[in-house]
Structure formats: C-alpha cells, structure tokens
Structure 1
Amino acid sequence: MADSNHLTTSPHPLRPFDLFTPSPSRPASAAASRLPASRAHHSARNSAGKEGSQMPTLDAKASRLIVVSNRLPITITSHADSELVDQNSYSFKMSSGGLVSALSGCKKQMTFSWIGWTGLDVPENDKPKIENRLSEEYSCKAVWLSDEVADKHYNGFSNSILWPLFHYHPGEMNFVESHWEAYKEANKKFADVVHKDIVQAIDRGEDVLVWVQDYHLMLLPMMLRELLNPSEADRVTQNPAAKKGKVSIGFFLHTPFPSSEIYRILPVRREILLGILHCDLVGFHTYDYGRHFLSSCTRILGLPAMPNGLAFAGRYVHVGSFPIGIEPTKFQEALQTPSVQKRIQVLEQRFEGIKVIVGVDRLDYIKGVPQKLHALDVFLSEHPEWIGKVVLVQVAVPSRQDVEEYQNLRSNVNELVGRINGRFGTVEYMPIHFLHRSVSFDELCALYAISDACLVTSPRDGMNLVSYEYVACQEKRHGCMILSEFTGAAHSLNGSIIVNPWATDQVADGIYRAMIMDDEQRKENFKKLFSYVSKFTAAHWGLTFVAEMQRILKENDLVDREEQYQQDLLNKHGQGSLVDHRPLDGLQIQEADEES
C-alpha cells in the first residue's frame, strides 16, 4: 500500500528512489515532470547511458546566482589593537570549506555573489570599507548582526533547538522565546540585504536565482517573498525589452529532516514550514528527508502532498533529493606529495602487521563515538584472537566544549577509552589510539591511506562526508567502509558494510567482516564506492541544484506567459469567445498591438 504522501517506494535497498537521486542507471539530469497536472509542463529531459556521470552545464546568460549562507566563506579578523594603519586593520582569508568547493563550478559558469554574516561586529565607520573589499575582491555582501543577536540566533536557536531536533535529540532542546525572536531578527536582516541585491538585478532585466543554505535561514524565503513586489518580481509584459527579471528561490537543508512525529515537537513548527514553503525548489540529501518534510506539511499544515512536492500560495514547491559529494582529486593530489608519502611510510612502519581501523568525527552526540567504542569492546571480547592485531585510531575533533551536554559526552568517551585500553591493552599494545584534537589535512590523508577500514557509527547524520574522503584515499589498499544506516551516505555508497549503530553486536560483526574480507571482495566493493565518489562530486551537486532551479524558472515563465496570453484573449474578445488551448510547447506570445 502506498504511503500517505503517494511517494514512490524504493526499488533499491541502499538508494531510495527519487528522480533527483543520481546513479549510473538514473542520472541526475533525467528528472521527470515535477508540476501537477493542472499546470502545463514541457518535459524533454530524458537521458540514459553515461549522461549521469557528466557535469551539468548551466545557462550562463539565463540568470545570476545569489548564494545565502549563515557565514560568508571569508574569515575576517580584526587587528584594531595592532599598529597597522586604519585601512589595513582587518585581514581577510578565503575559506576552503565544502560549500566553497561545491559552488566553484557555478562561479565559473554564471554571474555569482555570496551573502552572509561576517562573523564579527565592527564600528559603523568601518563597515563601508569592509563591504567594498568583500564586493570587489570576493563578490560577497555582508550581513551585520550584533553580538547578542548573532549568539542567540546561532547558539541559542539554531544549534540548541533546530540542530538537536533535526538529529532526533529533542531531549537536548530548551526553547527560549528571546532566542526565537533573535532568529527572526537575524533572518530579517538577511532578507533586507538579499532583497536589495535582487531588486538591482531584476531592474537590469536579469533573472535571479536565490539559493538559501541550511537551517539557520529557514524563515528567509518567506521574508523575501513578502519584500518582493509582485509587479517587480513576477510581472510578464508583452514587450520583451521592457520585461523585468524574475526571481526563483531555492533552499537546501544540510542536516536530516526528522519524521513528522519528532518535528511536531517544535513549538514554532508551523512558522518554520511556512518559511521554507515560499521556495520554488527545496532540496535534501536523501529521499527520506524529503518524504518527512512533505509528511510534516500534510500533518501540521493540512497541505496535500503530491509525488514530488506540493502546491502552496499559487506556486508549486518542488521537493527533491540532491546528495552532496566531495572533490576527490584534492585528496588524491595530496597523497602524492612528499610530506604525505613520508608520513604514510612512518605510519605503515608503526602499525606493521596490525590492521588499522580509522574513525574521524567531531565529538558530537550525533556522531556516535560511544557506540563505536562499545562495538570495538564487543568485537575484541568475542574475537580474542584479534587482540594485538587490530587498532582503532579515533580522531575526535573538539566541538562546543562550553556546553554541558558535550562536556558529559567527552567524559563518557574518555572513560570508555580508558576502560577498553585497560582491559585489552599491554605495555606494547593499545587497541585505541584516541586523539581529542584536530589533525592537519596531510595527517588526515595519511591516516585514511594506511587504514584497512573506516568505521562510521553516527546515530543520525545528514550525509557524513568522512566516508567519501576515506574512499578517495583508498585506491591502493581498497579498505572496507563500515557505515551507519542512519547517515545520508548509506543511501549512496553501495559497497559499504551497512550497520545499525544501536545494534552493538551488528557493528562488532561488521568489524569482523571487514577484518576477514578477502582481497577480491574488497576490490569489488571499492570499485563501486570509488565510481560513485568520483562521479558525483561536490561540484556536480552544486551544478545539478542550480541547473534545476534554472529549469524551474524557465518552466514557470512559460506557464505565466500562457496564463497571460489566455487572459489577454479574454480581455480582447470577451468572456464568451473561444480561448486558444494550444500546447505550451508551441506557444508564441502575440504582440500587444495585434488587431482585434
């Protein structure tokens, strides 16, 4: 029986079916019709064969892209107390984060700007020079927030309410009204800056794509719609030379979206949903997250969900899954550098004759480090022949150390590490090498390269790109990927050993399977993993989402023109006249001076 949202069920156990989910058999460029039957739709986007592995191409002249994220991809540092001259009292450094890499392809193909919070509050007279430099050197525009609003918005509401809720930890929530007010205020400040940029573009006749990133800005789409004058943003005229640009808004959530039973705990559940529903395209990492979103809209707002979205406020909100990736060449190139090669040799000598399992996680309750340690404990207890022959190298990057829940987590992990090492360790051997710190990129690549398996036990994780990074570094060793079924990556990385992190015996068995797997099976699994990671990169993700936004914008424009044409016929010939019902594909907009 179909579920309540009428969404197509999965024909594949590891990759839930959604027309946006890229795979060799179902390329991302082959998305089917996403408009309800009541709106005409032109669909000529069928493809097969190798097209799924090709990088999407954007229509560079069709529109400009505005990316909006909580933080700019620039780190601005104040040197107000230094002896530098006034105009150089701030230093700027470009970030190398995943989102920057993912949008590199878009930046090369179309007019591009980035809007976000600067990360610091500065005196009013310093803001113009910072804004000028951001605009001229980085194509960025600043959103200014006071320290109080920024703290309540980011730490208070975004990370203390939305983050735990979206990762199925509602017990960590503590709703404070002032934090919610700060969240709204911050989103409004973002909306004001984005709106100004939009108006300037559409006045020049440019179509605009606004791509909003993540849970910090879930009210922004609604606020933008309220600011945009319909006569500016959506007007269709019969004179192409006088036509103003159009606006399309997209939103992507980088975390899971929880089931409606969890989501409806949120005190402001309606407001958050309504904020997102003012988009034209809403993207998630997996089919399941999109299904949960549609289910929440149905249960909480009473909106009927359609196969790939829903109708809201006179528009169709397209919902799709767009699994993000990494740039594997960055890791492959690093492995060839002398410094990494030297480090690999040192580590291989250190662990000669020993199987190495690597874990790399932030020390966060969503990453499941305690579950991982419990599983290793069970594995060594049930397979004592492996004591002295296998080690876990666990990198635990510090996270939010001023928060009590995270302090308790660290104490729990330290206790587990000590107990397991005390039980199974000797003077010469320790089963767990625990690093509670960040490691350099070179060190990370070397650790990935010398490991025989990577263990990911996240109870909930939007995607988990550590699994992708590990695969990118394993061309020589063909290590095993042991992956929690509750990560977004589990839906894409066919060839992994999929485990339930809550089933300790199952994870322990997954470790055992990885340790005894023969070379032929490892090679076969790695081939599947590496093929996916290499084809569906971060850049592919960014281009695919933006290309879909462009398609929707053009599609909506055609529909609007058809509606305008029909209305003009009625106005010109009267209500009793025949109305032209030509297919949208062959529609030609008639000139305004046509004789009646």
Structure 2
Amino acid sequence: MSNRLPVDRVVDEAGNASWKQSPGGLVTALEPVMRAADGAWVGWAGQADLELEPFDNAGIRIVPVPLSEADLEEYYEGFSNDTLWPLYHDVIAQPGYHRVWWERYVQVNRRFADATARVSAPGATVWVQDYQLQLVPAMLRERRPDLLIGFFNHIPFPAYGIFSQLPWRGQIIDGLLGADVVGFQRVADAGNFSRAVRRLRGYTTKTPYIEVPGTDAVPARRVIAKAFPISIDVAGFQELAESPEVQARARQIRADLGDPETIMLGVDRLDYTKGIGHRLKAFGELLAEGRLKVEDVTLVQVATPSRERVESYRQLRDEIELTVGRINGDYGTISHQAISYLHHGFPREEMAALYLAADVMLVTALRDGMNLVAKEYVAARSDEDGVLILSEFTGASDELRAALLVNPHDIDGVKDAILRAIEMPRQERRKRMRSLRRRVAENDVTHWSDSFLATLRNTRGPGGWAGSVLPDEVEWTLERTTKR
C-alpha cells in the first residue's frame, strides 16, 4: 500500500485510457515480489475525483483509492506535505498545524485501511509505505487482527524535541505501533522513534524491540523498529549506463556544453530540503573569488518540478531561478555559461548519460531520508571515475563513506570539497569509486525488500517471537545490516 499506485494512467488523443508502469525504484523492487505472491497494490491513481474498479495489470491486482480535490488539498498538500514533511525534515521550513488537515488525514488513512482490509486474504502480509499513511497500521490491526503488517518510512523520523511539536504526536505513534515491523532508513531514525514511544507511551524498548502492553481484549505484542536502508536496481542501472546509446549521449552532452575541463552535476526535486541554494552559493563564490573559471567548469543543475500548487515551493523556484540568472549574468560569457539550469524531469536513459558526463556529483541535501541520486551516480560509473560530494545529513552518507562528506551549511567547507574533487588525482578517484561501487552493489533494492520481508515473516505468531532469541534468518539479517 502506498499513496500512489505503481501505474500511471495515460489517455491518448482519441480519449482511450491505458496504464503504464511507474518508473520509481519502489515499483522496481516490489513488482516481482507482488507478482510471485499474486498480490494486490492499494493506492491513489493520481487524478482527483476518479472512481475506478480494481483491475489487473502485469500480474498485480490494482486497487485504486479515490481522492477528491479536498482530499488532495488537506490530506496530501496540507497535512502530509505542509505539516509532516517540514517537521520530519528538522523544521527547515515552518510546519502548518491545522485541525482540518489532521481530520482529513485521519479520514483518508481510514479509507486506505478499509480498502486494504477488503481485499486482503486471511493471514495476508501487508506492507504500508511512507509518511502519508502512518495511521493505517493500527486501523488495519483493529479491522483485521489476522494480518501481518509492516510499515516503512522513506523520509527521516525526527528527534523527540522536534516530533513533540506535533499536536497529534501520540496518535501517530499509536498508528505506527499497529505494525509488526516499523522500518526506517537510518539507525538514528529508528532510535528517534523508540525514544518517542518511551516518552509518549512509557513502553519498554530494547533495540530493536518495543513491548506494546496488552489489554483485556488485546494480547501484548512485540514490535520491531529497525533500519532497512533502501537502495536502487544496481544491475539494471549499470546495464543502462553501459549501453552504446547512453555512452554516445554522454559524449554529446559534454560536447554541447563546450567540452569544459570539469562538469559538475546536481539532480534534485525542487524542494527546500535539497540544499540547492547552498550549492549555488558555494559555486558562485568560487567564481567570484577567481578560484574557478567559467571557461573551465560548468554546473548542470536539474531541478525536477515538485508540488507546484504549494506556495512555498513556488517561492523556492523563484529564488533558485533568480540566483541562477544572477550567477550567469555576472560570470557567463558568450561561449560559456556558468550554470545550465533545467527545470523538468528526464527519462532514466538521459539521467544515466548525465551521470556519465559529470566529473563531480553534488548532493548537498540539508536533510534526506536516503537520497538515491547518489547511489544512481555510483552505479552508473562502471569506468570507476567521477567524484561524489555528499551531505552528511543524507541516509546515503551512512553507507557511502568513501564520498567527500560535507556539511552543506558550511559554505566554505563545500567550496573546499568542490576544489578537492576537481583537483583529485585519477588514482584517488578510482580508489574511492571502487569502494562506493562495492557498497552499493552489496546492498541493492532487492536486498532491501528481502531483508524487510524476512524480518516481517519471522514475527508471525501471537505476540511475535517467544522470548528474546531471534530466529537464525532474522538474527543474520539484523547483524548484517547493522554492520553495514
């Protein structure tokens, strides 16, 4: 279950509707699992006020949940993306706390839970995805106590001092504790959740367990709260990047940019958590100080449109485009542009070509659950070249330690990292990239889904595991992921 279905509705010129698979990594990871299990995927079809009956697509039962314009405004744009999103990203922007948004969030979560309860077979496994649906696990458990329920939070889970600002903090905790396994991107996120449970509910916690006491009507339960860092389809992305067409396109991109000595690349959703402004400030100062020359270095910034109906996102776009225009006006020449700014999305083939063309990848997020762009760049570089500059505030930094790690708020530190990346000897670049590629290959998206589902399967039974001894398979999974 996820907010969006794994398929997109396409209407041709004649008005005929059809469905195509969404390109996201989550779909890539779970599609074979869902097909093998004869599974159903519950989610919104992406269009307001669209009532659709369940249907089959590529061996998966698709169960659409309708959302109205009011649902989108209050549940999605409101509570999910103007309350939870900024709160969970360390209040980089001020969250809005509106009771009408919360009430709509409860209503929509209940609608998702009802739809899932109706289509789930006896004893079925349900995997709920992400922050839009945090109340669903408890709602499902109330309706269908026979179900095995997992939840995965794709974004950070904040420290208690931040989370406690949420007026409905207790209800969110109770909602998540309806799951048998609650997964997070980072060990720190799982720890933040366990601390919130202790502070708000007083339950006993001993990593990775949370003991949920029973009542006269409901037995006591043991919940697992643990990190399962998500990844990408490494083999598929590497195969794509090695194709002759993508290789040729990468050479063409360099030629189109005037064959500069160094191409730097940023790829982000246009979101205030991504640190695009910090990156541009560092680059602009390097040009102003004469430490970089526009004839030698070009920055390509891809900023994929995001939540353009939300005012704060419209303001962010204006700020970024104003900064790009100022830097290009101050330092560009007739034949060389300082920044090539692209405000639209690209297909995977074009993204792979951009990764191959880039000498330096800049990931300067202020807070990020994982950041799969960093892993895609590494997977694309089978030539063992290129340098990754990575924010220490991303989940990816826990694994990709051979990157140049930076604090994006430290503009001087970012500038020094950029210069170090540009001047790095070939031997050091190869050594770092080999290390990064080994780590990404070890923990691909299949490993992520397999390890989560193995942990979830082994909680089967009243109250989860008996005693404190883990089954061998789960003990191995926990130990292996912790070491990583």
TM-score (norm 1): 0.73
1:105–1:539 Cα contact (<8 Å) kept: no
Matched, 1:327 2:233: yes
1:499 equivalent among 406, 420, 433 = 406
2:22 to 89, 92, 95: 95
Contact persistence 1:184–1:219 (CA under 8 A): yes
**Equivalent of 1:535 in 442, 461, 479:** 442
d(CA) in 1 for partners of 2:412 and 2:273? 20
- In 2, the alpha carbon distance for the partners of 1:260 and 1:433 equals 40
Q: Which residue of 2 aligns with 1:286?
A: 186
Distance in 1 between residues matched to 2:81 and 2:292, nearest whole Å: 44
Equivalent residue for 1:149?
71
Q: Which residue of 2 aligns with 1:216?
A: 132
Matches within 5 A, 1:187-266: 187-198=109-120, 201-202=121-122, 207-228=123-144, 233=146, 247-266=147-166
d(CA) in 2 for partners of 1:543 and 1:395? 32
How far apart in 2 are the matches of 1:355 and 1:171? Answer: 34
Q: Structure with the greater relative contact order (CA < 8 A, sep ≥ 6): 1 or 2?
A: 1
1:460 is paired with a residue whose SS is: coil
Partner of 1:572: none
Counterparts of residues 366-385 of structure 1 (less than 5 Å): 366-382=273-289, 384=291
| 1:454-469 matched pairs, under 5 angstroms | 454-469=361-376
Task: Tell me, in whole angstroms, the C-alpha distance in 2 between the residues paired with 1:465 and 1:486.
Answer: 13
Deviation at 1:475, TM superposition (A): 1.7
1:252·1:284 contact (CA, 8 Å) conserved in 2? yes
The 3-state SS of whatever aligns with 1:107 is: helix
Contact persistence 2:263–2:357 (CA under 8 A): yes
CA contact (8 A) 2:126 2:149 kept: yes
Query: In 2 relative to 1, CA 83–322 (structure 1 residues): closer, same or farther, beyond 3 Å?
Result: closer
Alignment partner, residue 104 of structure 2: 182
**Corresponding residue number in structure 2 for 1:56:** none
Q: 1:542 to 1:406 in 2, by over 3 A?
A: same
Once residues 429 and 499 of structure 1 are traced to their aligned partners in structure 2, the CA distance between those partners, rounded to angstroms, is 28
Aligned-pair identity (%): 38
Distance 1:147 1:400 in 2: 14
The amino acid of 1:445's aligned partner reads A
Bigger mean CA deviation after superposition, 475-484 or 423-432: 423-432
Structure 2 letter corresponding to 1:175: Y
Q: Tell me the distance in 2 between the aligned counterparts of 1:197 and 1:520.
A: 56
- 1:360-509 maps to which residues of 2 (within 5 A)? 360-382=267-289, 384=291, 386-476=293-383, 478-509=385-416
- What is the alpha-carbon distance in structure 1 between the residues aligned to residue 426 and residue 445 of structure 2? 30
Q: 2:202 aligns with which of 273, 298, 302?
A: 302
**Secondary structure in 2 matching 1:449:** helix
Match of 1:275 among 156, 175, 179: 175
Aligned partner of residue 520 in structure 1, secondary structure: helix
Gaps of 5+ in 2: 214-219, 472-484
Partners of 2:225 and 2:298 lie apart in 1 by 43
C-alpha separation between the residues in 2 aligned to 1:361 and 1:584? 40
Gaps of 5+ in 1: 1-67, 234-246, 561-582, 586-596
CA RMSD of aligned residues (A): 2.4
Q: For 2:47, give the aligned amino acid.
A: L
Shift of the alpha carbon at 1:250? 0.9
Q: Distance in 2 between matches of 1:356 and 1:377?
A: 15
Match of 1:113 in 2: 40
CA contact (8 A) 2:86 2:94 kept: yes
Which amino acid letter does the alignment assign opposite residue 7 of structure 2? I
Return the offset for 1:302. Answer: 2.7
Is the Cα–Cα contact under 8 Å of residues 282 and 414 in structure 2 kept in the other structure?
yes
| CA distance in 2 between partners of 1:550 and 1:362 (Å) | 35
1:173 equivalenced with 2:73 (yes/no): no
CA shift digits 1:366-388 (9 cap, x unpaired): 11100001111233344535442
CA deviations over 1:213-268 (Å, ceiling 9, x no partner):
0011111111112213x5xx2xxxxxxxxxxxxx2211100000111111111111
Q: Is the 8 A contact 2:273 2:366 kept in 1?
A: yes
Task: Return the offset for 1:514.
Answer: 0.5
Residues of 2 paired with 1:490 and 1:71: CA distance?
Answer: 28
Report what 2:262 is aligned to: 355
Cα shift at 1:584: 11
Q: Evaluate the alpha carbon distance shift between residue 250 and residue 349 of structure 1 in structure 2; reply closer, same or farther with a 3 A threshold.
A: same
Whether 1:73 and 2:11 are equivalent positions in the alignment is: no
- The alpha carbon displacement at 1:175 in A equals 2.0
Q: 2:230, 2:92 → 1: CA distance?
A: 26
Question: Using a 3 Å threshold, how does the CA distance of structure 1 residues 111 and 544 change in structure 2: closer, same or farther?
Answer: farther
Distance 1:514 1:584 in 2: 45
Secondary structure at the counterpart of residue 402 of structure 1: coil
Determine if contact 1:103/1:543 at 8 Å carries over to the other structure.
no
Deviations 1:261-295 (A, max 9, x none): 11111111111111001111110000111111112
1:146, 1:584 → 2: CA distance? 45
* Structure 1 match to 2:216: none
| Equivalent residues of 1:450, 1:477 under 8 A apart | no
CA offset at residue 134 of structure 1?
Answer: 3.4
Which secondary structure does the structure 1 equivalent of 2:313 belong to? helix
- Assess, with a 3 A threshold, how the Cα gap between structure 1 residues 105 and 76 changes in structure 2: closer, same or farther: closer
| SS of equivalent to 1:114 | strand
Structure 2 SS opposite 1:553: coil
Q: Which letter does structure 2 place at the counterpart of 1:423?
A: D
Q: Contact conserved, 2:157 with 2:192, CA < 8 A, in 1?
A: yes
1:551 to 416, 438, 458: 458
Structure showing greater radius of gyration is 1
Q: Do the aligned residues in 2 keep the contact of 1:455 with 1:482 (CA within 8 Å)?
A: yes
Matches within 5 A, 1:122-161: 127=52, 130-131=53-54, 133-134=55-56, 138-161=60-83
Which has the higher mean CA deviation after the structures are superposed, 448-457 or 419-428? 419-428
Amino acid in structure 2 at the alignment position of 1:141: V
- Residue 438 of structure 1: SS of its match in structure 2? coil
Higher alpha-carbon deviation: 478-487 or 425-434: 425-434
Structure 2: distance between partners of 1:584 and 1:358: 45
